[in-house]
Amino acid sequence: MAWLPAYVGLGSNLDNPPARVRDALAALAGLPSTRLELRSRLYDSVPLGRPDQPDYCNAVAALLTQLAPEELLAGLQALERGLGREPPVERWGPRVIDLDLLSMGELRVASGSLQLPHPGIAQRAFVLFPWRELAPHYVVPGLGAVSALAARLPPDAARALA
């Protein structure tokens, strides 16, 4: 298979979130037939789910991979388990680590286990702001350029950490 760009969103709001995100970024480099090319700064954002949970630490990683989308997703899920993620109790609830396959080249996938591009990207500053650092001109299939999508969101919706 040819090398394809893939973008992964990372998030944590439990057990020292910045350390959890950094651990996950390091773990991405160990995926087979995949290279970690770039990583964004860390960002702080309010949770999507119930408001009585801690804020999230987020980042985006740029990969080059020869894996099929389902193989890459399986690899990300295995990394999550290895990093201590438990099965979610609630949607958008607190978690030690979350790895989301955001987009992969120009692919569009809609299956029971995977949707590419990841749903909700256009409304998520915690994804778009760090992604804009890495690939502002990347065109998310069916949505537009990352920088244009990010420009539509309030500038204070997520903030870079030092």
Kindly list the catalytic residues.
85, 95, 98, 100
Q: Which two tokens stand for residue 48?
A: 């999507």
> How many CB atoms are located within 10 Å of the residue 36 CB?
18
Closest CA to 54 of 102, 93, 6: 93
Long-range contacts of 103-111 (CB under 8 A, 24+ apart): 103/6, 103/7, 103/138, 103/140, 103/141, 104/4, 104/5, 104/6, 104/7, 104/65, 104/69, 104/72, 105/4, 105/5, 105/6, 106/141, 107/4, 107/69, 107/141, 108/141, 108/142, 109/69, 111/70
